[in-house]
Chains A and B, each alone.
Chain A
């Protein structure tokens, strides 16, 4: 099952990074198995967000090829990419990409887009309680702090079916307690969904035994 959702990068190199030294991701043939956890370690400016962007179809400025299972994603049309995002790849963007005009609850429920809700309301509410955001659900996201917004973005990404969860520095504005709770929730949910997890900016304070590290 996992094989058909394996992400493969073949000689991928973002054009802005041409000429830089070799590393464990760029210009390599690497295979990321669905169901496993990966953390990307890299100094800033070396292409962490670029990798997330390439894997969910935002960035096209690279050489090499990316596959999801047997599908060459270089050839995927816009509509196919939107479908892939809807069905297989859920993302927490570094800039969150929330809708300030909608409430936290509305942003979270928008996640599934047009699919039937993947989780019951009660279940989602439980997550909200654990991340201490339940009191803010009816507030417009525009009025929330960045840390609260970050938790809304995580919940939106979790509140759906996916085979890959991509997270670009999801904890940058969370306190340690919230970070741990969120981290546990994410790992648990990826297990439930048998999904792969790719996360950037993971802190050394976390138990990283379950993670395979890719260094740029």
Chain B
């Protein structure tokens, strides 16, 4: 063996495989958790931005309670501007939408070809700003002069028809697509006149349990067919972040209004979920701190184990830089392998996560987020730097 080989042999010989494995394991766990936290956060924000209702904003419909005391008063169940201000003053609501309903009477008639007459029914219509509708259909618009009026029906309507009404009458079940082909007449009459439009189902909503028409149509029809009375509404919709729902819920209870309890419960659940995630992040950080200290400890142990060799080499004139470079070269290589290993482990984990999420119809990110790679690399560089700073302190 030449001198250089002898030196590296000496330094390598004094390393303990068990300590090395413990150090590698510590770093690996630390890097994996850091990468996982970043990736999960990226998935979380991706889900919020793309699937709104998963864990970000909730849309809550609020109406005033109708009790035996106020059944006779017409206006008590309407939201006043003071009511709306009280909600806004809470400072937790992102947006408030006020439902507008028809002030005229509406009758819908479904013509069956080849038969006289058809099915007919009194109807009610409502409108709200588009941003509150869960899925706005592409052709969701109406302007003066249009004969056809698009409608959004509650998903429950179709379900009731398909699973209750149709079987009992021996009628065929209908898909959403089929119903969109149907046309029916909407006959409107009020104090100022009467007109018939063609109705068309543009889409379905699971969020809003009402028959929706475009706001432009509602405003036009209310003005055209009815005497000009100021419009109030008995129903509002608010968008609110999950973690703020509790505050809103308090006000709703206090004023004895009504809302969809399920939504509130899911909001509470999301808030608990967020709390759990925060706790997990804290625990994760703790594990990361412990695992990083294990890598530093490994370096200290490795140097102490080789103390005699390092000291003696420097006593016979082997430059310190050579020894430091040997250590940092090896640790750098080990760190690179740890990084690659953690990357592969994260990709495998991500695949499993994708499969799991697909089972719940959630669309996750296509691959590991760029930031995840970036954080893995920079964390490893940081560890290597700390190790280098520790090794550089060799003295004799």
Chain A residues within CB distance 8 Å of chain B? 56, 58, 78-79, 82-83, 85-87, 91, 93, 97, 99, 101-102, 106, 109-114, 156
Stretch at the interface among B1-9, B279-287, B353-361: B1-9
Contacts of A113 in B (CB 8 A): 3, 313, 316-319
Distance in angstroms between the alpha carbons of A91 and B317 in the assembled complex? 10
At the interface, is chain B mostly helix, strand, loop or mixed?
helix
At the interface, is chain A mostly helix, strand, loop or mixed?
helix
Nearest CB of chain B from residue A75's CB, rounded to whole Å: 16
Closest to A86 in B: B317
A sample of 8 inter-chain contacts (CB < 8 A) reads: A58-B396, A78-B396, A83-B317, A85-B317, A87-B317, A113-B3, A113-B319, A114-B318
Contacts known (A99-B10, A101-B13); A111 close to B319, Cβ less than 8 A: no
Contacts of A91 in B (CB 8 A): 315
Nearest CB of chain B from residue A45's CB, rounded to whole Å: 23
Contacts of A112 in B (CB 8 A): 3
Contacts known (A78-B320, A78-B395); A85 close to B3, Cβ less than 8 A: no
Nearest CB of chain B from residue A38's CB, rounded to whole Å: 21
A97 touches B314 (CB 8 A): no
Contacts known (A99-B312, A101-B13); A109 close to B318, Cβ less than 8 A: no
B2 touches A109 (CB 8 A): yes
Which of these, A58, A83, A106, contacts B315 with CB under 8 Å? A58
Q: Assess whether B322 is interfacial by the CB under 8 Å rule.
A: yes
Chain B residues within CB distance 8 Å of chain A? 1-4, 6-7, 9-10, 13, 309, 312-322, 395-396
Closest to A56 in B: B315
A102 touches B9 (CB 8 A): yes
Contacts of A93 in B (CB 8 A): 315
Closest to B319 in A: A82
B396 touches A156 (CB 8 A): no
Give me the 8 closest cross-chain CB pairs, A-B, nearest first. A86-B317, A85-B317, A113-B317, A113-B318, A97-B312, A106-B6, A82-B314, A110-B3
B1 touches A106 (CB 8 A): yes
**Which of B317, B319, B322 lies at the interface centre, i.e. has the most chain A CB atoms within 10 A of its CB?**
B317
A156 touches B316 (CB 8 A): yes
Contacts of B322 in A (CB 8 A): 114
Contacts known (A109-B2, A110-B3, A114-B3); A82 close to B10, Cβ less than 8 A: no
Nearest CB of chain A from residue B231's CB, rounded to whole Å: 86
Distance in angstroms between the alpha carbons of A87 and B1 in the assembled complex? 22
Beyond the given A86-B316, A99-B6, could you list 14 further A-B residue pairs with CB under 8 A, ordered by the A residue number?
A78-B320, A79-B319, A79-B320, A82-B317, A85-B316, A87-B317, A99-B312, A101-B9, A101-B10, A106-B1, A113-B318, A114-B317, A114-B318, A156-B316
A82 touches B318 (CB 8 A): yes
Contacts of A79 in B (CB 8 A): 319-321
Contacts known (A78-B396, A109-B3); A102 close to B10, Cβ less than 8 A: yes
Closest to A105 in B: B1
